[in-house]
Chain A
Amino acid sequence: MKSLTVGKIYEDNQEQLQLELLNGQLSFERIIEEPDLHRPGLALSGFVEVFTFGRVQILGNTESGYLQTMSAAKRKKALASLMSFEMPCIIITEHNSVSQEFLALATKSKISIFRTPFKTTRLMHLLSDYMDDEFAPTITVHGSLVDVYGVGVMFTGRSGIGKSEIALDLVERGHRLVTDDIVKISRKAEGILIGSASEMLRHHMEIRGIGIVDVRSIFGIRSIRLQKRVEVEVHLEEWDEAENYERIGLEETITEILGVEIPVVRLPIFPGKNITVIAEVVALQHLLKINGVNSAKLFNERLIESMQSGNRKKGGLTEYLDKDFE
């Protein structure tokens, strides 16, 4: 379980959301366990049965306005009831004024109060984005991630099979390294995997026989990128005669990472085979496919059509080239 504290939210968003801390770091250690935000309107009106007090609470114009319309006695009761819940923090939007009474009660209950000039909807949008990122499911995969012609290709396979060497070769050919050896993958939005390097390893790789290599220093800034969507997995394996390797490519093999399906290509390696060039073809083939061109399918359709029409005769270009005596 991800543990996000109020303190971290404040630290990460203080600048962007222009958060102003009105009382003190009272609940900065408190852990928030879900990414959702909550507006405690109904809790203020007295209905607290299903109050999701564990979420970050947002007090918008509606709530602030409602508090002002209440009689002093009622307001006191409502606030006391609200503050009796162990909320992580409350954010007041649109720079609404906060009464001393409100702050005093919050401070007594050890709840940090923030204020922002943002409108409620805008704030909730921005903060939700941040929370979703923080709570995105993540996984670490043993592999290398390279941006090949804009396609995020992740190489996997046993240790020592040559993932780093292929990544290096691709970088040499002008592609961009995201990470080598360890890919941190998180699921962003629906069905999108984003891979990045661990802070420590960033654009360094180990090449057997040389040691640690700093790709950015050697190949320059254009040779790296910080993160990339993981789109295709290339699984490297030793050539095994008994294995059934893909020969046509009509059917895609799929692998699942964090519940997201991506195509996987199993590539047998053997001496004399240039995996780097094949990896480029894998990327380009993927680009063609997402643009609606499936080479294998088109080829097969043409083949079936030609068989059914019984037309195997030469014509057009073939006939023209037939006369090309040289």
Chain B
Amino acid sequence: MIQEKVTIKNKLGMHARPAAMFVKTAAKFKSDVFLGRDEQEVNGKSIMGVMMLAAEMGSALTLTVKGDDEKETLAALIALINNKFDEE
């Protein structure tokens, strides 16, 4: 299991489009993905869960990945967040 702290960088936060990108990317890998904010943790492959976090710009999230391809999964997801989901 690996874990990393991430910060949302795009202006609108994790609204529907970024959330969809996140879960679609997560779904490509075998590992389980969890996304946590404060005391809440949701499955990173569930779009409703990810949107429920309502992670605005600047919010700090904990990304947890468990599985055989956890390294690649984590790298792909972090790249997505750092690229601001191709938004502003």
Contact = CB atoms under 8 A, between A and B. Distances in A.
Q: Do A and B come from one complex?
A: yes
A299 to B, nearest CB: 7
Contacts of B54: 303, 306-307, 312
B84 to A, nearest CB: 15
Contact of A247 (B13, B14, B47, B57): B47
B24 A244 contact: yes
Q: Classify the secondary structure of A's interface with B.
A: helix
A308 interface: yes
B22 to A, nearest CB: 10
Contacts of A308: 12-13, 56
A250 interface: yes
Which of B13, B14, B54 counts the most A-chain CB atoms under 10 A from its CB?
B54
Contacts, number: 39
Interface residues of A, number: 14
A303 B51 contact: yes
A307 B15 contact: yes
Interface residues of B, number: 16
A248 interface: yes
Interface in A282-326: 296, 299-300, 303-304, 306-308, 310, 312
B17 A304 contact: no
Given A247-B47, A248-B47, A304 B24 contact: no
Interface in B11-67: 12-17, 19-20, 23-24, 47, 51, 54-57
Given A247-B47, A300-B15, 14 more contacts: A244-B24, A247-B20, A247-B23, A250-B16, A296-B16, A300-B16, A303-B51, A304-B13, A307-B13, A307-B15, A307-B54, A307-B57, A308-B56, A312-B54
Interface of A: 244, 247-248, 250, 296, 299-300, 303-304, 306-308, 310, 312
Interface of B: 12-17, 19-20, 23-24, 47, 51, 54-57
